[in-house]
Structure 1
Amino acid sequence: MGLTRLDIFNLRPFEKSRLEPCAGLNLVVGENASGKTSLLEAVHVLATGRSFRTQRIEPVIRKGARDLMVTGRLRLDGRQVSLGIRKGGGKTLARINGKSVRSQSELAQALPLQVIHPDSHELLSGSPTERRGFLDWGIFYQSPEAMGHWQNYRRALIQRNEALRRGLNDKALDVWEALLAQSGEAMDRARLSYLDTLLRHVRDLEALLPGNEGVDLVYRRGWREGVDLRTLLQTARPREREMGYTLSGPHRADVVFRCGDVLLAEGASRGQQKSAVLLLRLAQVAAFRGVTGRSAVVMVDDLPSELDESHRAAVLALLQGLDCQVFVTAIDARQIDARAWSSLRMFHVEQGRLRDLN
Structure 2
Amino acid sequence: MQVTRLDIRYLRRFDQVQLSPTPGLNVLVGDNGAGKTSVLEALHLMAYGRSFRGRVGDGLVRHGAPALEVFVEWRERAGTAGDPPRSGSTQPPGAEDSQRTRKAGLRHAGRDWEGRLDGSPVAQLGELCAALAMVTFEPGSHALVSGPGEVRRRYLDWGLFHVEPAFLALWRRYSRALKQRNALLKARAGDSQLDAWDRELAEAGEPLGRHRQQYLESLQPGFSRLAAELAPTLGQLQLHYHPGWRRDELSLADALLLSRQRDLQSGFTSVGPHRADWRTGFSSLPGREALSRGQAKLTALVALLAQAEFHAASRGEWPIIGFDDLASELDRKHQARVLRWLAASPAQVFVTGTEAPAMLDGPDVASSLFHVEQGQIQQVR
State the TM bucket, normalised to the shorter chain: over 0.9
Deviation string 1:163-222 (CA, Å, 9 cap, x unpaired) is 111122111111111110010011000011101111111123222203344122211111
Equivalent of residue 150 in structure 1, options 171, 189, 203? 171
Q: Which amino acid aligns with 2:182?
A: N
**Equivalences for residues 168-247 of structure 1 within 5 A:** 168-210=189-231, 211-225=233-247, 226-247=249-270
Equivalent residue, structure 2, for 1:351: 374
Give the match's secondary structure for 2:166. Answer: helix
Q: Which amino acid aligns with 2:294?
A: G
Deviation string 1:249-277 (CA, Å, 9 cap, x unpaired) is 00001112222263899633332222211
Give the match's secondary structure for 1:332. Answer: coil
CA drift at 1:245: 0.9
Equivalent residue, structure 2, for 1:341: 365
Assess if the C-alpha contact under 8 Å between 2:28 and 2:369 holds in 1: yes
Equivalent residue, structure 2, for 1:11: 11
Equivalent of residue 273 in structure 1, options 290, 296, 300? 296
Assess if the C-alpha contact under 8 Å between 2:342 and 2:349 holds in 1: yes
Instruction: Please give the root-mean-square deviation of Cα atoms over the aligned residues, in Å.
Output: 1.8
1:248 aligned onto 2:254: no
CA distance in 2, matches of 1:71, 1:9: 9
CA distance in 2, matches of 1:58, 1:346: 30
Assess if the C-alpha contact under 8 Å between 1:257 and 1:264 holds in 2: no
Q: 1:250 to 1:160 in 2, by over 3 A?
A: same
Assess if the C-alpha contact under 8 Å between 2:55 and 2:110 holds in 1: no
- In the superposition, the TM-score normalised over structure 2's length comes to 0.89
Equivalent residue, structure 2, for 1:97: 118
Matched-pair identity in %:
39
CA drift at 1:333: 1.7
Assess if the C-alpha contact under 8 Å between 1:112 and 1:296 holds in 2: yes
Equivalent of residue 129 in structure 2, options 98, 108, 112? 108
Q: Which amino acid aligns with 2:36?
A: K
Deviation string 1:27-48 (CA, Å, 9 cap, x unpaired) is 0001111111111101111222
Give the match's secondary structure for 2:370. Answer: strand
Assess if the C-alpha contact under 8 Å between 2:238 and 2:280 holds in 1: yes
Assess if the C-alpha contact under 8 Å between 2:359 and 2:365 holds in 1: no
CA distance in 1, matches of 2:288, 2:178: 29
**Equivalences for residues 162-173 of structure 1 within 5 A:** 162-173=183-194
Equivalent residue, structure 2, for 1:52: 52
Assess if the C-alpha contact under 8 Å between 1:31 and 1:350 holds in 2: yes
Assess if the C-alpha contact under 8 Å between 2:224 and 2:238 holds in 1: no
Q: Which amino acid aligns with 1:241?
A: L
Give the match's secondary structure for 1:59. Answer: coil
CA distance in 2, matches of 1:175, 1:159: 10
- In the superposition, the TM-score normalised over structure 1's length comes to 0.95
Equivalent residue, structure 2, for 1:84: 105
Assess if the C-alpha contact under 8 Å between 1:49 and 1:85 holds in 2: no
Q: Which amino acid aligns with 2:317?
A: R
Range 4-13 or range 319-328, more displaced: 319-328
Q: 1:235 to 1:132 in 2, by over 3 A?
A: same
Q: 1:68 to 1:306 in 2, by over 3 A?
A: closer
Q: Which amino acid aligns with 1:217?
A: L
CA drift at 1:232: 1.4
CA distance in 2, matches of 1:18, 1:266: 47
Q: Which amino acid aligns with 1:170?
A: D
Equivalent residue, structure 1, for 2:37: 37
CA distance in 2, matches of 1:11, 1:309: 31
CA distance in 2, matches of 1:99, 1:13: 29
CA drift at 1:336: 4.7
User: Structure 2 stretches of 5 or more lacking a match?
Assistant: 78-98
Question: Number of matched residues?
Answer: 357
CA distance in 2, matches of 1:326, 1:142: 21
Give the match's secondary structure for 1:13. Answer: coil
Assess if the C-alpha contact under 8 Å between 2:308 and 2:318 holds in 1: yes
Give the match's secondary structure for 1:262. Answer: coil
Equivalent residue, structure 1, for 2:281: 258
Q: Which amino acid aligns with 1:169?
A: G
CA distance in 2, matches of 1:205, 1:18: 34
